Amino acid sequence: GTGPWDGLTGTTSWFKNDVDTSAKPEGTQNVWILITDYADNTLVVGPTAFQVDHFAPSLSVDAAFDGAVYKNAEFTITGTVSDAHLGADPITVTATKDGVAHTISAGATYPVPGSTWSQVVNIDGTGSYELTITALDDYSRSSVEKRTVTVDQTDPTSEITGVSPVVTGGKVNSDITIT
């Protein structure tokens, strides 16, 4: 490395936690250490690689889960995730039912990096399920989306109490009113 160099002082150990990487592109970067002793002897150590990650993953949830969503059985929620530094399992989905933790029986699937993810959500009866979808990259940057799904397993009920006007023989020959 040829610099620029940041000065550190010490005799046996150093710690520098304020290296400005804002102008560096994402990906692998290198650092070198230039050591100078009291007699102006120098030694360059390195390079040592490190990763620059400026951005959290880009996370989206299928538009079918925007706004009011109603289901009556187990369902699958899907979306996409992308980032330069995603691991093998970047998606985690957690749930609550009516404000109480709900265990999802299996993890999210993510078959092709940089593409679609999906999560089967098992249900435990009627209620309001809040889903928290978290995308996490290899450097602990995360994005979070939340969706609420109302599960209703109660069949609708209805009763017809009358039809009018009815003419002779139970036949109707005009507009009717059902009550």
- pLDDT digits over 107-142, tens only? 898 877 668 999 999 999 999 999 999 999 998 999
pLDDT the model gives residue 59: 96
Residue 79 bridge partners (DSSP): 61, 117
pLDDT band with cut points at 50, 70 and 90 for residue 3: low
- Residues in Cβ contact with 10 at an 8 Å cutoff, skipping those fewer than 6 apart: none
- Point out which residues pair with 134 in neighbouring strands: 92, 144
Helix (H) or strand (E) holding 43: strand 42-52
pLDDT value, residue 16: 72
What the block records as the tokens of 158 is 């209805």
Positive or negative, the CA dihedral 135, 141, 145, 146 is: positive
Sheet (strand 116-121) strand order: 58-61, 75-82, 116-121
pTM: 0.74
pLDDT in tens, 14-73: 777 777 888 888 888 888 888 888 899 989 989 999 888 999 999 999 999 998 899 999
Cα separation, 127 vs 94, in Å, equals: 16
